[in-house]
Structure 1
Amino acid sequence: MTIKEFFSFRANRFFWLNILAMPVVLIILVFVTLWWLDAYTHHGEGVIVPDVKHKPVAEALRALEAEGLQGAVTDSTYVKTLPAGCVLEYNPPMNQKVKKGRIIYLTVNTQNVPLMELPDVADNSSLREAEARLLAAGFKLMPNDTVPGEKDWVYGVKMDGRVLGQQEKVPQGAYLTIVVGDGLSHTEIEVDTLGMDSLGVHQEVEATGAADESWF
């Protein structure tokens, strides 16, 4: 092949038409691809997440479906002051713009009161320390029960009149009664009782003697 033949393609108009057509075709392909992606992903289309907080789960799901969204319960927690089964939180949150068909993840209020392990305070702490630990754990305290023993020493914890075992699990926020020593030992009580009894006997003897003397 001669050099003249090698460069003869420059005189071929179809060659130059192909060269010019290539970028045009490439641009068209790019625009078609972008249009298809917009149509497939619904680019620019969106809905506002409605307010479903504190609504029952069934009602919240219906409200989301009415907006073209999907709801899914993914977590639960316990709030005593709110009804069981209501929506506590959700993500994405209210008023956020999302695409249709987006899944909204719900956190609901559980129907069962969670159980908590009782802090180890029985025969292990003073009254002040036990009160602080129980209140910090979220329990409510009833008036204390007293028993003979070291003053302000905790001997046990009761719920509904029943003595609880160490580290027993009880409902969160339960009302508890601390069993605490009154500062009097069993020996002191027995001595005091004997003293009162002997005093009573002595008084009876004196009264009897006085009555006998008056007889004479």
Structure 2
Amino acid sequence: MVTFKEFFSFKNNRFFWLNLIAMVVVIVAAAWGTLQWLDSYTRHGEAVVVPDVKGMNLRTAENELGKQSLKSIVIDSSYVKGIAPGAILEQNPSGGSKVKSGRTVYLTVNADSAPKVAIPDIMDNSSLRQAEAKLRALGFKVTEPEYISGEKDWVYSIKYRGRDLKAGEKIPYEAVLTLMVGNGNETMPEDSTLVDESGTVSDDKPMIDESWF
């Protein structure tokens, strides 16, 4: 039986050295295993370059990202005139960035058609300057106004492709609109009549005394 004194004899006690060696082996093995797990978990050394997919159609962009073991999700759409529907407008992370394999790239695509915007309530409710400012702020294009009889620079209606629009009606963004504006001349109807001081209604032709003829 090993005595307490013999167990703690550093020079001659083989149990001490065996335990010490075993502890060192366990610590080294645990450290190595932890490093291996961290390396696998964080995919250390597996960074990939994100391809630039802006301008590509969605399917092509997904294929290019997939070649780099990257995922993709469409998170938004916008409309840019002159760019093919479904083309990639923006991506995050951007092309050329280095990311971990398996990272998700978020995409914004071009919409199939221009979004529709509601016409504001400006008919018979705004001046020319106010109406033009409101319409342009919403993305509409405004042509030279057409003038009609009425209060000067007062907007009476809005035309789109030859028809009158109503407040709240939705039409495509960037549509070309024409404002019908008063020219300041409020003319009387041709069939108007005159009323004399006695209240008698007469037509607008002057009375001629025929006794002189």
TM-score normalised to structure 2 length: 0.79
Local SS of the residue matching 2:8? helix
Taking the TM superposition and a 5 Å limit, the aligned residue runs for 1:1-216 are 9-11=7-9, 12-187=13-188, 190=190
Residue 74 of structure 2 aligns to which amino acid in structure 1? V
CA RMSD between the two structures: 2.6
In the alignment, the residues of structure 2 paired with residue 145 and residue 166 of structure 1 have an alpha-carbon distance, to the nearest angstrom, of: 19
**Aligned residues: percent identity?**
48
Moved over 3 A (4+): 5-9, 189-192
Local SS of the residue matching 1:183? coil
Local SS of the residue matching 1:157? strand
Local SS of the residue matching 2:190? helix
Q: Shift of the alpha carbon at 1:191?
A: 8.2
Residue 10 of structure 1 aligns to which amino acid in structure 2? F
Residue 114 of structure 1 aligns to which amino acid in structure 2? P
Local SS of the residue matching 1:133? helix
In the alignment, the residues of structure 2 paired with residue 36 and residue 69 of structure 1 have an alpha-carbon distance, to the nearest angstrom, of: 22
In the alignment, the residues of structure 2 paired with residue 7 and residue 185 of structure 1 have an alpha-carbon distance, to the nearest angstrom, of: 124
Deviates more, 1:18-27 or 1:76-85: 18-27
Local SS of the residue matching 1:82? coil
Q: Shift of the alpha carbon at 1:186?
A: 4.1
In the alignment, the residues of structure 2 paired with residue 156 and residue 135 of structure 1 have an alpha-carbon distance, to the nearest angstrom, of: 16
Q: Shift of the alpha carbon at 1:173?
A: 0.5
Residue 82 of structure 2 aligns to which amino acid in structure 1? T
Residue 165 of structure 2 aligns to which amino acid in structure 1? L
Contact in 1 for aligned 2:7/2:15 (Cα 8 Å): no
Local SS of the residue matching 1:71? strand
Q: Shift of the alpha carbon at 1:40?
A: 4.2
Contact in 1 for aligned 2:128/2:155 (Cα 8 Å): yes
Local SS of the residue matching 2:124? coil
In the alignment, the residues of structure 1 paired with residue 108 and residue 129 of structure 2 have an alpha-carbon distance, to the nearest angstrom, of: 37
TM-score normalised to structure 1 length: 0.78
In the alignment, the residues of structure 1 paired with residue 5 and residue 82 of structure 2 have an alpha-carbon distance, to the nearest angstrom, of: 89
Structure that is richer in helix per residue: 1
Local SS of the residue matching 2:33? helix
